[in-house]
Structure 1
Amino acid sequence: MAQSKLSSHLLVAAFDFGTTYSGYAFSFRDDPLKVQTNQGWNAGSEKLISLKTPTCVLLNDKGEFHAFGFEAENKYASLAEDDEHHGWMLFRRFKMLLHNNQELSRKTLVDDINGKSKPAMTIFSMSINYLRDHLLKELNNRTTGIEETDIQYVITVPAIWNDNAKQFMREAAEQADIDTSRLKLAWEPEAASIWCQIIKTEAKCALSGDGTKYMVVDLGGGTADISVHEKCADGTLKELHKTSGGPWGGMYVDQNYFKWLESFYGQRALERLKLEDMTDFFDLLREFETKKRSVTSDSKEMVNFRIAASLKEMSEEEENTTLQDRLAALSLQEKVSVKRDRMRIDPSIVRSWFHEPIDNVIQHMNEILAEPQMRQVTSILLVGGFGESTYVQGKIRKAFAEKRVIVPEEAGLAVLKGAVRFGHEPDIVSARVMSYTYGIARTKRFDPSKHLLSKKVFVNGKEKVTDIFDIFVSSGETIKPGQVVTQRYTPNNFERTTLCIYCSTDPHPEYVTDATCKKLGQLQVKHEEGEALQDKKFIVSLVFGDTEIIVKAITTKTCKDFYTTIDCLT
């Protein structure tokens, strides 16, 4: 059904909204595999041409959107140099606000580079709106006769995100004037897996055989998304293991680098560089983003970094000591040298910045592959911007020497291009494994041999037990897209029933008040017709298997139906 619905759209456009970088790609209905990206974002001072641009938003001193990406960084740096940046707000790497945030709501705030706050929904919607407008201008430059309503949109999201984060992203897109009926969310590891079934490289040869089972490791700027897929005989993909992962992306290498710089130059000197010479500060960030991809496991040559000469002066002023004395105090004379605006660092120090995130990824991969049902997994597909790091690739190849580790060309674009393909053919994923248990709070007849006495209540004079977790699907269960799970209910109230929907990390929770449970949202079912409670019975259906969950309720006597997506942001 979803596929036929999409067939009327002239093209599919996907936005990869990343923690560190964002971009878009598109392809037309008559040639869906010819996926086109923006031909290059100009970084400015570094003369760097990139297929993605930093996920970075600049607001002017009136709180209005001014720029996104490299343009935002460069404009803010220029303002700061002239001391005219006061009141302007620069937001960077704010996507991680949505990761595992149980308190996320429409009113959640996000801090800019100086700690000033704005509603996160506003910043996210501004970002999506910019990418959408940039796409439309690019389309108009390349061809004629395209209307905005011809476009099916796809936005990529980490598969390990919870339901409230996915809803937050959809609502941000709606605020950016994207028609929600023409928007699909694509899970990032799925999108990468889809693209690697198509490209004519080693990846396709290794992964496209019927029955092939492989692990997908999507290492982005913020998170690691790890899943296991099987290629089915009908050409679809089946998820074999629920997606899991954690905050182990490339930005944590950057953080370790800056912690090391602070230990050497001093925290105050780094703060001054950011305040007094923002251009050099951004150059520091951009150069490291490029440099960290070329670090290798076996290199013994010192790694060269360009460090602003002003940082050395600031450090010696703030620390009241020379950098040479600092080297001696830290016992780094043999491993670090500084000359004018060049710093040479021993590769063992540079590699140490990678250890924590990569060790976490490898440990998690080992835990999954150790499960008995994962024995037939023969290959590992490594994608994502952080997955382009030579050192990361080397560590994973060494840790899993018995597996075939595949890194496709342009690994950082695999998610984006796969998301375009998913938009054309959403049924290409034929089964997903549930990450959570979903169900509804229910009141049942009290059984003293099964139920807690503290849960006993009296309803219409009868002993009942409240807060029962009525399970629809369990964590780890395999579900087909669009699969409907139905339960029948007799209400306790004559006028209406409020259905409270819960999720849990436990496959078999007993009560919705268990520590593993979280309330997702609710649905009001009105059943005013009929004279007895038996006349007011209704059927509840939860629709699973897609990237979002739908709730339906139908009263059996009147056939009146109630329908909603779960509101997880109240």
Structure 2
Amino acid sequence: MDAYYKLDTLKKEYIQKKIYAEDNKYSRNFKKFKGEYKKIHNIYEPKLREFCKLHTIEEQRPLIVKYFCESFTFESLANRSKNLVKNGAIDRLLSGEFRSQFEYSKSDIEAAGGPAKYKLLNLFYANKHRIMPGYYGQIGFEIISKAAIYKFSHEAYKGSSAQKKTGLSHQQYLTTVIVPEIACWIIAEDQAYSHVPTRLAYLNGKLFKWGAFGIVLKDAKTVSLFKLHLDETKKGLIPELPYGLEIEQAISDYLRSIFEHTCTFLSRRIGKEIDTNKLRFCLPVPDGWTEKARNTMRNAVIRAGIISKEDPEDRLLLVSESEAIALYCETFLVEYNLKPGQNFLICDAGRFNVNVVVYRKTVDNNGKNSLMEEVAGDSVISGYTTLDPHFRNFVSDNVNLFFKNVKPLTDRELDNIVDIFTNDIKPRVCHPSNPHYDKDYIIIPLPERFDETEYDEEDKLFVADSQLHMHPELMLSEIFDPVINQVLSLIDTQLKRIDRKLDAIFLVGEFGQSTYLLHKIKDKFSTEVILICAPHRGEMAVVRGAVLMGLNPQFVKQRIIRRTYGYECSLEFDKSLDPEGLRAVDQNGEVYCNNRFRSYVLKGEIRDVDYYVDISFKCYYSKNPVLKLYAYDGNPDHLPRFTTDDATKKVTEFEIKLPNLPGKGPNDTVVIDAKLYLYQTEIKLEVEIENIKKIYTGSHKKVDNMPFIGEIR
């Protein structure tokens, strides 16, 4: 903030000299005094404009990188301020419908302390840090004031709820409430995204905090990263949930909290309650999630009260993250002008995982652009946050090596060091060829007991004045490169599977915004791929793509099937192949083999997204039958015969509720016609029984002693 305070000092000096000159207007030295303040003004004004507009200024980068959009101009600030005013921002403040974070009651002002004329200013400046320089400075203040004043008249303010509550004058309310509040709203719009941590705090088994909370009560139990429990590849790597908490409940509590918060925010913003019954919900899920994980997510949404079991199945879409990103790239990256027939690889480098997949741009039967998956995707457990444990272990190991006879770094001390790495060091790391590359040593503060090590000028790692000095080359080779090499290997594997040239690589996700990662990918693949880029605001690709998927769920026309799917059924008994233990005889004396595995789509096949298979079976009209679905990840040329095979995994089961059929008795058979869809990322079942249709999606748990599905016709 040094630049800001220097400007503030210049401004104060300018005002003092201007007032002094005006007070001595008739003095023979007036021209001299006027020249002095004009000289300062000529220095101050350009610096102020540069400071307010230049978002890449290094002194401010740590603070403004989260708040400023690259396209910010004072012209756009004026237009956006006017739009907010026209849309009722001031009306909602004056009516009390929305309370500003800068608005204080009369009692608040009286309790602020200090001389009377400074009470209000003390309160205002206590909150001024919420507004970043650039939007709010001398120029921004004047722009927003002009936009607000035509709507904020003396007549509008007089007698309003805001005036009665605060007791402020018209000018005071304008300068200390309306202007900074509008500035904050515009800042919020320009924030790249607000990442809400997946954290919950429970006290006595009940949720009492969620998201970005700080220190909690000693008796409270915190839960974080619980979504990772749904990734079956991470079993054993994630701590168990406290209080015997189920993963579905934790996710449900989190979704409910963020949903209620979002509805409240939107209601305040648009000035009326949100009719949630008219909303469709799209949740992007990792491509590698199993059906069990997806079913858990759907059940958690229902449990949170966001949707109900009776809602149409497409009110909640669980969409593939890679498909959402592909749609985002196709929709927003028009400047790259990919033509039908060209293909592109998406590298989604996120916080915990890196996923890569190749899509080809096509044209559907209606002449509209669409996408098809060309190569099945790959993923690796790696990402932006995996850099943190690398750095933590590196610091711990080397400090212990330097100071063998000193108490090692504690967990809390290491946590503080990693925080510095995460917030200050990691975002600045770039390739040596980058003009912003800093050759100076990276300095990491250590506790005072680690004073100094012997070193010379050639050392790339040493301790001096209780600070760990680390050469940037060491940061790249020891911390970043091991993680980035995994990404490069993943991309290389995809390229080897393509039988033709790749046209483009799009790098998205939070880690995908790393300029160093982008440079490394270009270094390795630029001779094979013409276009390699990290689209602007690529960290928003999944979220924005999910919204687009909600509007157009079938933009991606074809997928590569990642598993073989089948269902459990009873088929004719074969003495030479079927064990006696699975033999069953029905009421008509016909002999069947239970637990047979019948496939309906094979791993590696390319299928339309609306692909389905017709099946027909019969059962007795006594109890609701259950259709059990299984997956097989092995060679599709050698399918298992039975669902009891260790290689098969049950993915879901549907209890098919038999309708009321007059004249049917328990010993009568019912013919059930069904369509099994590979619906979005879930499996959908459409059942028809004597012209009565019903749709099932996700997990439908059976009750005890339900019969298996009978004969396949």
TM-score category by the smaller chain?
A: 0.7 to 0.9
1:487 equivalent in structure 2:
615
Within the alignment, does 1:230 sit opposite 2:360 as a pair?
yes
State the 1:220 CA deviation.
Answer: 0.7
- Alignment partner of 1:343 out of 468, 472, 491: 468
**In the superposition, relative to structure 1, how do residues 210 and 50 fare at CA in structure 2: closer, same or farther (>3 Å)?**
closer
For CA contacts below 8 A with separation 6 or more, give which structure has more relative contact order: 1
Distance 1:57 1:559 in 2: 48
1:501 equivalent in structure 2:
629
Within the alignment, does 1:209 sit opposite 2:364 as a pair?
no
**In the superposition, relative to structure 1, how do residues 88 and 496 fare at CA in structure 2: closer, same or farther (>3 Å)?**
closer
State the 1:504 CA deviation.
Answer: 1.7
Within the alignment, does 1:252 sit opposite 2:381 as a pair?
no
Q: CA offsets, 1:514-569, max 9 Å, x none? A: 443211122234679768989433223212241221123334xx445554324289
**For 1:443, what is the secondary structure of its paired residue?**
strand
Count how many residue pairs are aligned between Structure 1 and Structure 2.
Answer: 488
Within the alignment, does 1:324 sit opposite 2:453 as a pair?
yes
The alignment's C-alpha RMSD in Å is 3.8
State the 1:464 CA deviation.
Answer: 4.1
Letter of the 1:536 partner, please give it: V
Distance 2:409 2:264 in 1: 42
1:441 equivalent in structure 2:
568
Which residues in structure 2 correspond to 1:118-197 (within 5 Å)? 118-149=245-276, 150-179=278-307, 181=311, 182-197=315-330
State the 1:209 CA deviation.
Answer: 1.6
Distance 2:465 2:544 in 1: 43
2:553 equivalent in structure 1:
426
Within the alignment, does 1:565 sit opposite 2:692 as a pair?
no
**In the superposition, relative to structure 1, how do residues 515 and 406 fare at CA in structure 2: closer, same or farther (>3 Å)?**
farther
Which residues in structure 2 correspond to 1:58-97 (within 5 Å)? 58-59=200-201, 61-69=203-211, 71-72=212-213, 75-76=214-215, 85-97=217-229
Distance 1:58 1:428 in 2: 36
Q: What percentage of aligned pairs have identical amino acids?
A: 20
**Which structure 1 segments of 5+ residues have no match?**
1-41, 80-84, 317-321
**In the superposition, relative to structure 1, how do residues 60 and 340 fare at CA in structure 2: closer, same or farther (>3 Å)?**
farther
Q: CA offsets, 1:456-512, max 9 Å, x none? A: 625346654443321111222233333331112244897553322101223352332
Higher mean displacement: 459-468 or 535-544: 459-468
**Which structure 2 segments of 5+ residues have no match?**
1-126, 133-186, 401-406, 703-713
1:269 equivalent in structure 2:
409
- Contact 1:227–1:241 under 8 Å retained in 2: yes
Distance 2:657 2:547 in 1: 41
Q: Compare the two structures and name the one with the higher strand fraction.
A: 1
- Contact 2:628–2:650 under 8 Å retained in 1: yes
Distance 1:247 1:559 in 2: 48
**In the superposition, relative to structure 1, how do residues 176 and 285 fare at CA in structure 2: closer, same or farther (>3 Å)?**
farther
Which is greater in Rg? 2
- Contact 2:461–2:470 under 8 Å retained in 1: yes
Distance 1:247 1:366 in 2: 17
- Contact 1:384–1:414 under 8 Å retained in 2: yes
Distance 1:268 1:454 in 2: 65
Letter of the 1:187 partner, please give it: S
Within the alignment, does 1:375 sit opposite 2:500 as a pair?
yes
**In the superposition, relative to structure 1, how do residues 179 and 536 fare at CA in structure 2: closer, same or farther (>3 Å)?**
closer
**For 2:453, what is the secondary structure of its paired residue?**
helix
**In the superposition, relative to structure 1, how do residues 156 and 520 fare at CA in structure 2: closer, same or farther (>3 Å)?**
same
Distance 1:417 1:371 in 2: 29
- Contact 1:219–1:382 under 8 Å retained in 2: yes
Letter of the 1:287 partner, please give it: D
- Contact 1:456–1:463 under 8 Å retained in 2: no
2:153 equivalent in structure 1:
none
- Contact 1:520–1:566 under 8 Å retained in 2: no
Letter of the 2:598 partner, please give it: D
**In the superposition, relative to structure 1, how do residues 521 and 151 fare at CA in structure 2: closer, same or farther (>3 Å)?**
closer
1:51 equivalent in structure 2:
193
**In the superposition, relative to structure 1, how do residues 360 and 492 fare at CA in structure 2: closer, same or farther (>3 Å)?**
farther
- Contact 2:320–2:680 under 8 Å retained in 1: no
- Alignment partner of 1:413 out of 531, 540, 559: 540
Letter of the 1:486 partner, please give it: D
- Alignment partner of 1:384 out of 509, 519, 524: 509
Within the alignment, does 1:366 sit opposite 2:492 as a pair?
yes
Q: CA offsets, 1:244-267, max 9 Å, x none? A: 312122222222111112212359
- Alignment partner of 1:544 out of 662, 678, 682: 678
State the 1:213 CA deviation.
Answer: 1.4
**For 1:51, what is the secondary structure of its paired residue?**
coil
**In the superposition, relative to structure 1, how do residues 143 and 437 fare at CA in structure 2: closer, same or farther (>3 Å)?**
same
- Contact 1:432–1:545 under 8 Å retained in 2: no
Letter of the 2:218 partner, please give it: H
- Alignment partner of 1:400 out of 502, 507, 525: 525
State the 1:122 CA deviation.
Answer: 3.4
Compute the TM-score of the two structures, normalised by the length of structure 1.
0.74
Letter of the 1:210 partner, please give it: P
**In the superposition, relative to structure 1, how do residues 371 and 109 fare at CA in structure 2: closer, same or farther (>3 Å)?**
closer
1:17 equivalent in structure 2:
none
Letter of the 2:494 partner, please give it: I
Distance 1:337 1:151 in 2: 57
1:471 equivalent in structure 2:
599
Compute the TM-score of the two structures, normalised by the length of structure 2.
0.60
State the 1:421 CA deviation.
Answer: 1.9
Letter of the 1:427 partner, please give it: Q
